[in-house]
Chains A and B, each alone.
Chain A
Amino acid sequence: MIALEKRPTPSRALSLSTPIIAVIITMIMGGLLFSVLGKNPIEAIRTIFWDPVFGEFAFYYRPQLLVKAAPLVLIAIGLSLGFKAGIWNIGAEGQYIMGAICGAAVGLAFYPTESRLIFPLMIVAGALGGWAWGMIPALLKVRFGTNEILVSLMLVYVADQLLASMSLGLLRNPEGMGFPGSRNFSDFAAGSSWINEAAGLHWGMAFAFIAVIFSYILLNRHILGFNIRLTGEAPRAARFAGVNPTRLILFCLGTSGALAGLAGFFEVTGPSGQINIDFASGYGFTAIIVAFLGRLHPVGILLAALLMALTYVGGDLAQGNLGLPSAAIQVFQGMLLFFLLALDLLTNYRVVLKTKGAA
């Protein structure tokens, strides 16, 4: 009989190697799926994993991977702080939208003034927008003991409605012939987050790297990071150690809100270009997966976000070049997550064979 036995401490070797094993299993199972669909499995896997990074047009896709990964990194880093402390911000999507709206609104208010001061001001507004949206569930939690999972999630739908209202009303492009959507930031140099659009580099990437470094230092070298980890792993001990839970909740939800707001802001003023009804494309939810995929570790999150970006970019490439249906690509992405999380079990448990008598 096969049974699972909890390991006294999680296996470090497995914790590092399971992501690689999961990717390999996904490739095998995905290859099977693709061959059932009548496609060459080797070619399909190569198109998804190899071509975007080393293929003929890698010069274009490499920066595109960063474009796709940057918002995921920014949001997931913020979420990981709270998740480590057992504070569950599920509404990053809403904070992402609010950051985009606030940052873009400040920029559009100055249109068409060209000044170097505008962009920093917009960054602050974007971060504040996301921060404020994150503080709503935080304040309700510390004041009235509400559940931050529900409140933050519900606020996503509120933000969605605000986004629709903004793109149809207040921020609508006056020269847009009645169509919804704000002015495009590609026509407004002072408010654009592109560092070099042709090379596909924008400020969000720089901020994502900075966020990774700061989060690493915070978690490993700072007392606040220690308090966060302590609260998550041993809440009682944390209380005895004098950790103030109210301050921790406000800090975690506020910071993750601000980072999600920044992600939305850099996206709207760069790759997306305008506030529009369909602007939010689920980065806030995907980032939750990225945070866990990266094991709530800053460097892990960076790698996980790049991997997710690769499956998106490579997936679209496989659709276009090989005629794979998008549903097959989604199944493939699902497989990857499934195997990663399933194999996670092995880091905490070990498989043992037990005889009937002993059981």
Chain B
Amino acid sequence: MKLTKLLTSAAVALGLATTAMADTTKVGFVYVGPVGDGGWTYEHDKGRQAVEAKFGDKVETTFVESVPEGADAERVITQMALQGADLIFTTSFGYMDPTINVAKKFPKVKFEHATGYKQADNVSVYSARFYEGRAVQGHIAGHMSKTNKVGYIASFPIPEVIRGINSAYIHAKKVNPDIEFSVIWAYTWFDPAKEADAAKALIEQGADVILQHTDSTAPQAAAQAAGNVITFGQASDMGEYAPFPRVSSIIDDWAPYYVARTQAVMDGTWESVSTWDGIGAGMVGIGEISDAVPADVKASALALKESLADGSYHAFTGPLNKQDGSAWLAEGETAADYGDNGLAGLNFYVEGITAEIPN
């Protein structure tokens, strides 16, 4: 306990020192991949750059990239807090327990954890409703597939990923009743070699649409090599593969949130909140739908996007059954965020998906 005290007093002393020195707000970012991954971490880093651009000399941002989830993460977060950070964004699900642990030791430092569910007085959680983007992808995929086979490269079987698979499937099925999904679990967020292998395996099985919930552009390259397979950018636009094979993308836009939260710390109005925004709030963007997509499909996809954005349509609207055939949502009912069978803890497939969630 002595050390905890020491850590806290060091942090307090530093905090005082920083405020005395100037009005610089120090903001730290912990990344799970390299900033050049072209996907998840790349977009978080764009958010960091937006904070720098907006506040100029009034902020100082630091980041550490490719931090393994676990003991190393806890050390890196502590390191940032010790060095006097006022606000720390930890941008991967696996940083949840380390973030909570460090937050206990530094009550004056504000923490923001992405995609988790554990909040504290000085820990906010934030995530984006990526499944809204998946609905648009599924819609386009269902229209575009000629083999009626969609390959899905999934990362880890966590609710966020399962929501995405369900949402894409529901909306593909709506426009193409014969569609089938094959899912490969890569057990990684970023591993170009593994992702390329998964993409090739799916293409060999006859898939002519590849959806990915991993962050590298390797599946895009594999599809390009195959020649007749379409893909979607993940987390980032991946526009270098447009107009074909990349026909659209889901873009995570963290910049407005990061700027707002930094502003809140500067103003002293920061409070622990749980944020879960989608297309409407601008946290999820749909990258330009390329000309490889027929005009009528593009128009209907954009209409779907609009209805998701203005809230007139929910991506999970009944009637929907679970994979085992039991009822989930009644006619016209929409899925709740929390509670039993809620979206936050979603751990089952909807009816029609033939794959199994590994366990």
Contacts and interface: CB of A to CB of B under 8 A. Distances in A.
Contacts of A299: none
Contacts of A321: 62, 83
A199 interface: yes
A179 B74 contact: no
Nearest to B65: A326
A347 interface: no
A327 B34 CA distance: 9
A107 interface: no
What secondary structure prevails in chain A residues at the interface with B? loop
A326 B190 CA distance: 15
A178 B347 contact: yes
A66 B359 CA distance: 35
B86 to A, nearest CB: 15
Contacts of A323: 62-63
B4 A198 contact: yes
Given A177-B344, A179-B159, A321-B62, A57 B82 contact: yes
Interface residues of B, number: 45
A338 interface: no
Given A164-B187, A279-B70, A326-B34, A169 B64 contact: no
Interface string B73-85: 0111011101100
Interface string B337-352: 0000000111100000
Most chain A beta carbons < 10 A, residue from B6, B65, B75, B78:
B75
A302 to B, nearest CB: 20
Interface stretch (A82-90, A132-140, A221-229, A270-278): A270-278
A186 B97 CA distance: 10
Contacts of A178: 158-159, 345-347
Given A180-B158, A271-B74, A277-B156, A319 B358 contact: no
B187 A277 contact: yes
Contacts of B55: none
B313 interface: no
A278 B157 contact: no
Interface in A320-336: 320-321, 323, 325-327
A278 B67 CA distance: 12
Contact of A326 (B64, B82, B344, B359): B64
Interface in B177-227: 187
B191 to A, nearest CB: 12
Nearest to A168: B359
Contacts of A57: 10, 79, 82-83
Contact of A186 (B35, B93, B101): B101
A343 interface: no
Contact of A276 (B28, B70, B83, B359): B70
Contacts of A319: 63-65
Contacts of A344: none
A240 B227 CA distance: 65
A110 interface: no
B64 A320 contact: yes
Nearest to A200: B3
19 contacts: A57-B82, A179-B93, A179-B117, A179-B345, A180-B157, A186-B97, A198-B3, A199-B3, A200-B3, A271-B70, A271-B71, A273-B70, A273-B71, A316-B72, A316-B79, A320-B62, A320-B76, A320-B79, A325-B65
